[in-house]
Amino acid sequence: AQKVTQAQTEISVVEKEDVTLDCVYETRDTTYYLFWYKQPPSGELVFLIRRNSFDEQNEISGRYSWNFQKSTSSFNFTITASQVVDSAVYFCALSLRGNAGKSTFGDGTTLTVKP
């Protein structure tokens, strides 16, 4: 069985601070996909990134960056120079080869960015 753990239930930072959201996963499969989603107060989940298990290259997209380390089964997400609009619940998810959509989600981390 697969498992995704987001140990940080809630994080609060002040605007312009950097913040890292942790994600640790468990699976016996060698081929899998990892995802991050953002769920703002409006409620609609927004896809942020997908990474497959064979690609450990870190990725940067604007103020967002992701650090994938298979050795520690982690896929952490960093927001640089946080903004109030980054306030949301962030979910990490894992899917296995053959069904990227049947995902196992973590319980989410609620990020609050204060002005």
Q: Choose which of 86, 103, 111, 113 interacts with another protein (CB under 8 A).
A: 103
Q: Which is nearer to another protein, 35 or 77 (CB)?
A: 35
Instruction: Report if residue 37 touches another protein, rule: CB under 8 A.
Output: yes
Q: Give the three-class secondary structure for 70.
A: helix
Instruction: Report if residue 43 touches another protein, rule: CB under 8 A.
Output: yes
With CB under 8 A as the contact rule, which of the stretches 15-23, 43-51, 53-61, 74-82 interacts with another protein?
A: 43-51
Q: Which is nearer to another protein, 50 or 70 (CB)?
A: 50
DSSP 79-92: ESS--GGG-EEEEE
Instruction: Report if residue 28 touches another protein, rule: CB under 8 A.
Output: no
In degrees, to the nearest 5, what angle opens at C-alpha 66 toward C-alphas 68 and 100? 70
- Asked if residue 2 lies in contact with residue 25, where contact means CB atoms within 8 angstroms, the answer is yes
End-to-end CA distance of the chain: 41
Strand-strand pairing, 109-114 and 19-21: unpaired
What's at 105, amino acid-wise?
A: F
Q: Choose which of 12, 17, 18, 46 interacts with another protein (CB under 8 A).
A: 46
Contacts to another protein by CB under 8 A: 4, 33, 35, 37, 42-47, 50, 91, 93, 97-108
